[in-house]
Chain A
Amino acid sequence: MTAPAAFARHGAAALGLLLAWHLAAQALAGSHMLAGPLDVAVYLATHHALMGRALIVTLENAAWGFLAGNLAAVGLALIVALMPRTRVVVAAVALVVFCLPLVATGPVLRVLYGPGPGPQITLAALAVYYTSFIPLLVGLRAAPASWFDLIRLYGRGAWTAFVQIRVMAALPYLMAGLQIAAPAAFLGAMVGEFTGADRGMGVLSIRAMRGLDVEATWTIALVAATVAMLAYGAIGALAARLSPARPDILLATAPAPAKGNPMLRGLGLAMLTALVVLALWWALMEAFALSRFFAKRPDDIWRYLISAPTAAANRATLWAASVETLRLVVPGYLAGLGAGAGLAMALVLVPWIAGAVLPLAVALRSVPIVTTAPLIVLALGRDTLGTITIVAVMTFFPALVACIQGLRQAPGQALDVMRIYATGRLTQLWHAQIPAMLPAFFAAARLSVPAAILAVTVAEWLATGRGLGALMAMTASTSNYNMLWSAIVVVAVGSALGYALVAWLERAVMARVAPEQLRG
């Protein structure tokens, strides 16, 4: 297709979309669900100064968080590159920290920092460092052995190999991580602003939602989504310039080769991780001499949940909230993954649609959940269905993108062999494409666990007023820091366990369909 023709087609598609949006808004007028393109344009025109100021504040916080989080990711990756034995433990601790619920860490950080942009920047950094760290880990190992032979052949050592090979080989992986990090930093900054900032897109968003201001909610969501997509696209373009020879990056960590009993190893890793996290937690609180009133130590939580007279009641409250949250997050998570994988497979049967949907899905994946959540709440209400849908949307797009990319990994020659025997599309899908898709699918499924829990807690906090999200928001506002920290522990441990469960399933499935993927 020539460039003008493509331009015309995309232009026509955009116009059609605008028209459909307008008609839908007309049809739903008066229902307080959907603001049409004209409403949004009018709102933007009248409030552009306010929006512009808020956007600049949030962008600045997001940029600092992006920088800090990615520096942390590079630092962690360097530790692992220099001391490969620490890889499993560093990755596990990094995961637990990534699983800390933003909804609860936000208020705690607000108390620690006081007023100012501190919490926003920290939350933005926390939202990005893990998704940059994981591809870097893969990238630093993603060089074939013969490249290192070449270095040794001339008598050069590990430092030359690091500079000439590892850094360069990791660069495209770093760029892939940065691309996902850009919208995530924006999300983190917005959640940080929810926790009592006085300026920024997050503040506007909360105000619009509380006031049921449909035009404002839609305008903020669209502006935030546009910024996130632009950041995603800009880093993608930069990556294409910097490293033209880009490998296919699926963000899948190669599972460690199993030595000995996998159950025992898993248990050992879990205990070691818990020990390191507890030590870090305690040391961090002591190092900054933070007040025990709001900066709880591990032994405070132990007393609160185990040894205090009211411990049983505390546990019961926490348990009830956890069960409520689980009822929402599990169906949403499974529905999102299933719909993503299912749509990807359906699209592969009609390849020309897949080509059109992939860029759209990639773009929508970068839209922060805090901008879509209010829209879904407007449309589906503050109840079970709305929350489950928010979780499903959060897991749907990563799963869809990963699965389309994974389905394309099917070796072309294997498909050619099947075509020679006039094999049907479904048989090809089953024998060649689905096995090729599974590594990408599981990578998305693992990373979607913390994302789903973030989505459900944000929805519970902002909309439903039930479950762990609401419990954390309420205890934060009533200064019940024992319960708040207990909820943080429960969410972090639960997320990490969910992640481990998916990783275990992944190993079991991969051992059957693609044992070569498990070799370290």
Chain B
Amino acid sequence: MAEPMAQPGPEILCDAVAKEFGHGPARVEAVSPLSLRFAAGRMTALVGPSGCGKSTVLRMVAGLEAPSAGLILLGEERPEEMQRKGALAMAFQDASLLPWRSVTGNVALARKLARLPADPEGVAEMIARVGLAGFERARPAELSGGMRQRVAIARCLVTAPRVLLLDEPFGAVDELTRARLNAELPPLWRARATTCLLVTHSVREAVALADRVVVFSSRPARVVGDIAIPEAARTDSAQRLALMDKVSAALSQGWDESGADTRLAAQ
């Protein structure tokens, strides 16, 4: 396992970052100028109504979308430089596994793309860690949606990235497995001091996993809440519930027309 060699994650800076799509009458303002800092080696959850632009923020940090204005730095570096160093990893909403590769092949591909030496043992261990031991040779088509998302998470972690971007990675994972992954995975990125951004619909998950929850309004995304989650809340369920209420309240406040689904998700 490459854990001892993993470098700690950098601070992420978004300075007046904005994003527009399209031109003229079809122009859509996805993110209005946004300035945020995400602490090095911590996990920040981004919550907000569907289509509010939180995934766009994640894609800009990943260097997959260029901001229309503003600057994004990961430590001292632009996202593109981090890409070239193989220091980024991202889990997409739809898992995005290559259908012609086995579970092992998909996970190992990330190390190849990141120009890291092949590490069959590390790959196998990571597959076991997401609970898929015994499925190494299965193709994505033979797995359930939740299992595919777990493969995608293993693919993210196998390169020991400095920055980990998770776009609703547990959406299709069943409740029990989700609880287990929520318990097992955070120690991994905490030990590596990976800087994590988690986009999620689930207030419960945001509070359970993150050190801080940033609440966005509906589109164009503005910050309507910024709630620190103290270490104590992980063991104190009363405090956790109070924080969940606080996040939900911020969500309702930033709720224009499209907030119905966030209310449901908060339950």
Residues of A within 8 A of B (CB): 144, 146-147, 149-156, 160, 164-165, 168, 171, 243-245
Q: B84 interface residue, CB < 8 Å from A?
A: yes
Whether A146 pairs with B92 at a CB distance below 8 angstroms is yes
Whether B94 pairs with A154 at a CB distance below 8 angstroms is no
Given contacts A151-B113, A153-B62, contact A243 B88 (CB under 8 A): no
Residues on the A chain within 8 Å of B83, using CB: 152-155
| Residue of A144, A149, A171, A244 with highest tally of chain B CB at under 10 A | A149
**Would you give the shortest CB distance from A505 to chain B, in whole angstroms?**
29
Residues on the A chain within 8 Å of B109, using CB: 164
Given contacts A153-B88, A160-B113, contact A147 B64 (CB under 8 A): no
**Would you give the shortest CB distance from A111 to chain B, in whole angstroms?**
47
Q: B99 interface residue, CB < 8 Å from A?
A: yes
List residues 55-103 of chain B with CB under 8 A from any CB of chain A. Answer: 59, 62-64, 80, 83-86, 88-90, 92, 94, 96, 98-100
A156 to B63, CA, bound (A): 12
A433 to B115, CA, bound (A): 47
Whether B88 pairs with A154 at a CB distance below 8 angstroms is yes
Residues on the A chain within 8 Å of B80, using CB: 155
**Would you give the shortest CB distance from A407 to chain B, in whole angstroms?**
23
Q: B132 interface residue, CB < 8 Å from A?
A: no
A222 to B6, CA, bound (A): 68
User: Other CB < 8 Å A-B pairs besides A156-B113, A171-B100, A245-B100, 8 of them?
Assistant: A146-B92, A149-B90, A150-B113, A151-B113, A152-B63, A154-B110, A155-B84, A168-B98
Whether B139 pairs with A245 at a CB distance below 8 angstroms is yes
Using a Cβ–Cβ cut-off of 8 Å, how many residues does chain B contribute to the interface with A?
27
Residues on the A chain within 8 Å of B139, using CB: 244-245
Whether A155 pairs with B85 at a CB distance below 8 angstroms is yes
A to B contact number (C-beta, < 8 Å): 60
**Would you give the shortest CB distance from B267 to chain A, in whole angstroms?**
25
5 residue pairs, one from A and one from B, having the closest CB atoms: A155-B83, A155-B84, A154-B113, A245-B99, A146-B96
Residues on the A chain within 8 Å of B100, using CB: 168, 171, 243-245
Whether B96 pairs with A150 at a CB distance below 8 angstroms is yes
A165 to B59, CA, bound (A): 20
Residues on the A chain within 8 Å of B9, using CB: none
**Would you give the shortest CB distance from A238 to chain B, in whole angstroms?**
15
Q: B140 interface residue, CB < 8 Å from A?
A: yes
Whether B110 pairs with A164 at a CB distance below 8 angstroms is no
Residues on the A chain within 8 Å of B114, using CB: 154
Q: B36 interface residue, CB < 8 Å from A?
A: no
Residues on the A chain within 8 Å of B110, using CB: 154
Residues on the B chain within 8 Å of A171, using CB: 100
Q: Which residue of B lies closest to A168 (CB)?
A: B100
Contact residue among B62, B88, B140 (Cβ-Cβ distance under 8 Å from A245): B140
Whether A147 pairs with B62 at a CB distance below 8 angstroms is no
Contact with A along B136-148 (1 / 0, CB 8 A): 0001110000000
Whether A153 pairs with B98 at a CB distance below 8 angstroms is no
A154 to B159, CA, bound (A): 10
